[in-house]
Amino acid sequence: MQFTTTDSSVTEIATDCLIAGLADAGLAGALADIDQASDGLLTRLHESGDLPRKAGQTVLLHSVPGISAGRLLIVGLGKAEKLDGVAFDKAVKAAGKALRQSRAASGHCLLAETEVIDRGRDWTIRQAGIALIYADYIYAATKQPKDDAPPATESVSFPTGESVEEQLRQAAAIAAGVKRARDLADLPPNICTPAYLADIAGKMAVEHDGLDVEILEEDEMRSLGMNALMAVADGSANRPRLIRLSWKGGRSGDAPLAMVGKGVTFDTGGISIKPRDLMEQMKFDMGGAAATIGAMEAVARLRLPINVEGVVAAVENMPDGRAYRPGDVITAMNGKTIEVHNTDAEGRMILADALTWTGKNLNPDTTVDLATLTGACVVALGHHASAVMTQDDELAGELLGAGQRSVDRTWRLPLWDDYQEQIETPFADMKNVGGMPAGSITAGCFLSRFADGQRWAHVDIAGSAWQWGKPESGTGRPVGMLVDWMVDRAGGWDKI
C-alpha cells in the first residue's frame, strides 16, 4: 500500500473509495459536505438507522450522487468522548478490512480529521497509516489466495497538510517493521528455522545502508561458553544461530539501545514435552526474535539518529538423544550454574547467554529483551498487554509510556527480590523454574541474574505476539511499542 496526498475537495477526489468516520454527534466535516452534494442522502440514511452507530461498524455505499469517488466507506467511531487512541486504532483497522473487502484499488482516508482524546494531529495521521497497512495483511507464504479473493489496496491518499507526508513516511516504515514480524511469526517451523532467521537478517543488512549483520554459529558459541543456549540447541538437527543486527545511526562510540529476542523457532518442550493439543502454536515462540528483527527494519527505514543493536538467540527445542534433561546442571556463559527442572523453560536458558553476550560485547546503554516466555503471562494479562519487568522505575516508565502512545500497550509486573528465593536450589546457583506462583515474575527473576549491571527490562509477549482468531496470526507486537520507545530516546518524532 502506497501513501500519497491530495488537496482535491472531498466531492472531487477521483478514488475508488472514500473512507470517513462517523461519531455519535452525527454528520460533520467531510460527511456533511458529501451529504450536501448528494442532496441529503446521508441524512436520510442516518435517520433511518442505516449508517453505522457503533465504533468499528462499517457501511459501504456505492455510486453516491454528487461525488467523484466510486464508493463511500463509513466507519462508526462511537461516542466522541470515548474515542481514545485504542478506539481510534480499532476503528481504522475495521475500515481497512472493509476497504480491502470492497475491492477498491485506491482509497482516500479522511479518518485523520477525527479528534482523538489526548492525541495530536500528527499521531492521528501516523496511526491511521499504520493501522491501514496492518488491516491489509493477508498470509500468502504457503497458501495461494483464491482467484476471487479481494486484492491488496494499491494506494491510499490523505488530505494535504503540514507534515502529513512526513507522518505517512514514518507510518510506512513502522508498518513495514510490523509486517516483517508478522510474516516471520506466521511462517511454519519447517521453513522458519534458526538458519532462516539468520538469512533474513543477512538480506536486510544488504538492503539497508547502515544496517550490519553478524552471525555466530555453534562452534563459536560453544567456545564462548554459551552452554545454556547450547543445551537447548543440542536437541535439534536445526542448528542454532546468534544473530546480531546493528544500526549505526548515532555517533560512533555512543552506547546503543539493545533488544534481545527469544527465537525458539519451535518449542516442543523438549524432554519435558508439551501436550499434543495446540503444540502447533509453538511455531510463534520466535515472536521475540520477530519483534527484534521487525523493529530493526523500522529503525533502518526511519534512519533513527541513534545506535541500536538487535540480538536474536535462535534455536529449536526438541526431545532427542542429545537433548538436555531435567536434573542437568549447566554452567552459563557468565559462570553461574543452572539446575534444569523443566526443559520447557528453555526461553530463559537461551536468553541468559544472549543477555550475557550483549552486556559483554555491545556496551549497551539499555537492554530490553522480548520473549514469548511464559503461559502464566497469558493467564495474567490475556492478549491485550505485554508484561514489563524491571527493577528500574525510570525504564519501566519509558516502556509503559511507549506502549500507551503506540497503542501497543504494556503493563508492569513487580520484580521484587522477594520472588528470587523461588528459584533457589541446593544443587546450583539457581533452577530454571520457580513453581506455580507468579510464573512470569520468577522467569524475570531468572533473567535478572544475567543482566547484572545493565540497565535492563524484560518484556513477556506470550499473550500479545499472537492473535487467536480473525484470523489466527502473529500481531507484530511489540514492534510499535519498541519503535516509539527508541524514537523517544532519540529525542521524539520531531527530531527524527
By CB under 6 A, residue 462 contacts ligand BES = yes
Considering only 89, 136, 344, 484, the residue that binds Mn ion (CB under 5 A) is: 344
By CB under 5 A, residue 460 contacts Mn ion = no
**Between 26 and 327, whose beta carbon lies closer to Mn ion?**
327
Closest residue (Cβ) to Zn ion?
267
Query: Which contacts qualify for 323-329: CB closer than 8 Å, 24 or more apart?
Result: 323/234, 323/235, 323/270, 323/271, 324/231, 324/232, 324/234, 324/235, 324/270, 324/271, 325/271, 326/271, 326/272, 328/231, 329/427, 329/428
Beta strands of 332-486 (E only): which ranges? 337-339, 366-371, 386-389, 410-412, 430-431, 456-460, 466-467, 473-474
Neighbours of 360 (CB within 10 A): 11
By CB under 5 A, residue 316 contacts Mn ion = no
Gap between the Cα atoms of 72 and 75, Å rounded = 10
**Between 11 and 342, whose beta carbon lies closer to ligand BES?**
342
**Between 212 and 472, whose beta carbon lies closer to ligand BES?**
472
Size of the site for ligand BES (CB under 6 A): 16
Indicate which of Zn ion, Mn ion, ligand BES, none lies near residue 342 (CB less than 5 to 8 Å, by partner kind): ligand BES
**Between 247 and 266, whose beta carbon lies closer to ligand BES?**
266
Q: Please state the closest distance from residue 372 (CB atom) to ligand BES, in A.
A: 4
Give one DSSP letter per residue of 451-470, joined into a string.
STTS-EEEEE-TTTSEESSS
Q: Are 260 and 275 in contact (CB under 8 A)?
A: no
What is the footprint of ligand BES within residues 324-383 (CB under 6 A)? 342, 344-347, 372-376, 378
What is the footprint of ligand BES within residues 274-293 (CB under 6 A)? 285
Q: Which residues of 78-94 are buried (b: 16+ CB within 10 A; e: fewer)?
A: beeeebebebbbbbbbb
Gap between the Cα atoms of 217 and 17, Å rounded = 51
What is residue 343's DSSP assignment?
T
Q: Please state the closest distance from residue 316 (CB atom) to ligand BES, in A.
A: 12
Q: Please state the closest distance from residue 262 (CB atom) to Zn ion, in A.
A: 7
Closest residue (Cβ) to ligand BES?
375
**Between 18 and 373, whose beta carbon lies closer to ligand BES?**
373
Q: Which member of 348, 431, 455, 477 is catalytic? A: 348
Q: Which member of 121, 239, 248, 274 is catalytic? A: 274
Q: Please state the closest distance from residue 136 (CB atom) to Mn ion, in A.
A: 33
What is residue 248's DSSP assignment?
E
Indicate which of Zn ion, Mn ion, ligand BES, none lies near residue 462 (CB less than 5 to 8 Å, by partner kind): ligand BES
What is the footprint of Mn ion within residues 246-285 (CB under 5 A)? 267
Give one DSSP letter per residue of 326-339, joined into a string.
TT-EEE-TTS-EEE
Angle between helix axes 479-489 and 164-186 (nearest 10 degrees) is: 140
Beta strands of 295-450 (E only): which ranges? 307-317, 329-331, 337-339, 366-371, 386-389, 410-412, 430-431
Q: Quick one: which segment of 204-212, 346-354, 476-484, 488-496 binds Mn ion (CB under 5 A)?
A: 346-354
How big is the CA angle at 424 (ends 326 and 448), to the nearest 5 degrees? 95
Grid coordinates standing for 282?
A: 509453538
Q: Please state the closest distance from residue 216 (CB atom) to Mn ion, in A.
A: 23
Gap between the Cα atoms of 430 and 473, Å rounded = 35
Gap between the Cα atoms of 462 and 475, Å rounded = 11
**Between 89 and 346, whose beta carbon lies closer to ligand BES?**
346
Indicate which of ligand BES, Zn ion, Mn ion, none lies near residue 439 (CB less than 5 to 8 Å, by partner kind): ligand BES
What is the footprint of ligand BES within residues 91-120 (CB under 6 A)? none
Q: Which stretches of the chain bind Zn ion, using CB under 5 A?
A: 264, 267, 285, 347
**Between 24 and 328, whose beta carbon lies closer to Mn ion?**
328
- Is 348 among the catalytic positions? yes
Q: Please state the closest distance from residue 471 (CB atom) to ligand BES, in A.
A: 18
Q: Are 129 and 172 in contact (CB under 8 A)?
A: yes
**Between 341 and 405, whose beta carbon lies closer to Mn ion?**
341
- The radius of gyration of the chain's CA atoms, rounded to the nearest angstrom, is 24
Q: Please state the closest distance from residue 314 (CB atom) to ligand BES, in A.
A: 14
By CB under 6 A, residue 433 contacts ligand BES = yes
Gap between the Cα atoms of 112 and 126, Å rounded = 9
Q: Please state the closest distance from residue 433 (CB atom) to ligand BES, in A.
A: 4
Considering only 177, 249, 439, 476, the residue that binds ligand BES (CB under 6 A) is: 439
Gap between the Cα atoms of 491 and 496, Å rounded = 8
Give 62's strand partners: 71
- Is 274 among the catalytic positions? yes
What residues line the site for Mn ion (CB under 5 A)?
267, 344, 346
What residues line the site for ligand BES (CB under 6 A)?
267, 285, 342, 344-347, 372-376, 378, 433, 439, 462
Residues carrying an active site annotation = 274, 348
